Amino acid sequence: MNENIIDLKKNLRKEIKNRKKQISDEIRRIKSLELMNKLAENPFFKKAETIFIFWSMNDEIDTRDFIIKWSGKKRFVLPAINGDELHLKEFTGVHKLINGDLYSIPEPDGIPFSDFNAIDLAVVPGIAFDKNNNRLGRGKAYYDKILSKLKGKAHLIGICYDFQIVEKVPAEPHDIKMDGVIYA
């Protein structure tokens, strides 16, 4: 009997969650630094002026120092969860971050950012990616809704640990593909 796509996604999320638990804080730090250095050298990052990126959770590639380092040179917009929707808000400094409603992820305080045409690059987290640039998120479709507005306008780059690259991500029509994936 074939597993349906929902079960495949659920099982893959569980498998990656278990793998994430097995890496040490030191390895997490080293891989994050390596990956963020790769991103800094990426031609799409170099030419981008406005970048949609995320303030990382503890189990993700750490983007926090990177955002702080580059915030004087690039304009960053970060996700802010509002009910069932993801809003974007401009990052104006660590002192302007507040704990978000869901997961208590720090997010910028302020008005929602709506100039999607200004976004040159989106740096996107995921549970898993495959070699065809398919992405598996956490299952709430927050990012897919935003990415559907950016697809074809901004360059979409997924970032993750190397063990999050899998043979095949179970994908549905509403799942937005990346233009590329960087991993370490």
Average pLDDT over residues 64-83: 94
pLDDT at 176: 94
Please identify which residue in the block is written with the tokens 């549970």. 127
d(CA 161, CA 20): 9
Average pLDDT over residues 129-146: 91
Domains of the chain: 5-183 (3.40.50.10420)
Whether the predicted model's global pTM rises above the 0.75 cut? yes
Q: Which of 126, 116, 112, 115 has its CA nearest to residue 151? A: 116
